[in-house]
């Protein structure tokens, strides 16, 4: 296997996932700021032009961070970050979808349309006038998520899962790019600090190829 890594939230999510799994995955860095992900060599591997991507042993390439995480869990079940049973996996995916569809996707697009506008305007359709609304939706949905969390230390109770990793990395990114969240939220606030103390949180900032 070979991981195509980059400085971006989705690759960092995957790095944190891999670190929590205790895996070692060879990696190369794709310089997305220089546009390497839009050049022919990379597009031949991943026509979507996004990072991360994983070159498999059979020569095919798997894209999308969530799909790669699912694949790695199948190949290396322990420690389980998605689940050991159908019930555990379903609950993880339930929270994972809530995180992605209701919070992180809005953070992502708001960044494209505001703080990241100069970078993305030449590449994708952008709607600058929508940025503030998207930020407000992300904050509203984070409060909604906070209200649904149970008493456990993680989204799935006692289990640290991929859903926690995805939400943590994107909230950390948001804080650094003009979208700070309310740390006074009763559950999300302490949860975020709990995740930030995990060794994988700091270690995932560094690219695997460095």
Looking up residue 105, the CATH number of its domain turns out to be 1.20.1050.10
pLDDT of residue 101: 97
Q: How many domains does the chain have?
A: 2
SS3 category, 60: coil
Note whether 114 and 51 are same-domain residues: no
Look at residue 209 in the predicted model and tell me its pLDDT: 86
Q: 34 and 115 share a domain?
A: no
CB 128 within 8 A of CB 117: yes
Q: Both 113 and 182 in a single domain?
A: yes
Tokens read off for 14: 């995957």
Residues 70, 97 within the same domain: no
Which of 12, 46, 75 represents a domain boundary (last residue)?
A: 75
Domain match, 126 and 64 both: no
Confidence (pLDDT) at 205: 97
180 lies in the same domain as 151: yes
Contact yes or no for 56/3 (Cβ under 8 A): no
From first CA to last CA, the distance across the chain in angstroms is 17
Asked if 139 and 106 sit in the same domain, the reply is yes
Structural domain harbouring 138: 86-198
pLDDT tens for the chain, residues 1 to 210: 999 999 999 999 999 999 999 999 999 999 999 999 999 999 999 999 999 999 999 999 999 999 999 999 999 999 999 999 999 999 999 999 999 999 999 999 999 999 999 999 988 899 999 999 999 999 999 999 999 999 999 999 999 999 999 999 999 999 999 999 999 999 999 999 999 999 999 999 999 987
What pLDDT sits at residue 150? 95
Q: Are residues 100 and 167 in the same domain?
A: yes
pLDDT for the residue 208: 96
Quote the pTM value.
0.96
* Structural element, H or E, at residue 29: strand 27-29
- Residue 112 domain flag: yes
Report if residue 110 sits inside a domain. yes
């Amino acid at each position: 296997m070979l991981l195509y890594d980059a400085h971006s939230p989705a690759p960092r999510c995957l790095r944190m996932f891999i670190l929590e799994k205790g895996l070692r995955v060879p990696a190369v860095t794709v310089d997305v700021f220089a546009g390497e992900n839009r050049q022919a060599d990379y597009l031949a591997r991943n026509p979507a032009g996004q990072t991360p991507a994983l070159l498999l042993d059979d020569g095919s390439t798997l894209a999308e961070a969530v799909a790669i995480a699912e694949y790695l869990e199948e190949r290396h079940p322990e420690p389980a970050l998605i689940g050991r049973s159908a019930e555990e996996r379903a609950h993880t995916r339930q929270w994972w979808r809530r995180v992605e569809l209701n919070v992180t996707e809005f953070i992502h697009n708001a960044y494209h349309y505001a703080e990241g506008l100069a970078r993305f305007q030449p590449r994708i359709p952008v709607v600058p006038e929508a940025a503030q609304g998207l930020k407000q939706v992300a904050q509203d949905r984070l409060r909604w998520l906070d209200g649904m969390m149970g008493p456990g230390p993680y989204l799935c109770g006692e289990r640290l899962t991929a859903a926690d990793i995805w939400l943590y990395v994107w909230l950390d990114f948001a804080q650094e790019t003009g979208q700070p969240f309310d740390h006074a939220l009763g559950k999300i606030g302490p949860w975020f600090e709990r995740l930030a103390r995990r060794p994988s949180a700091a270690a995932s900032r560094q690219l695997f190829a460095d």
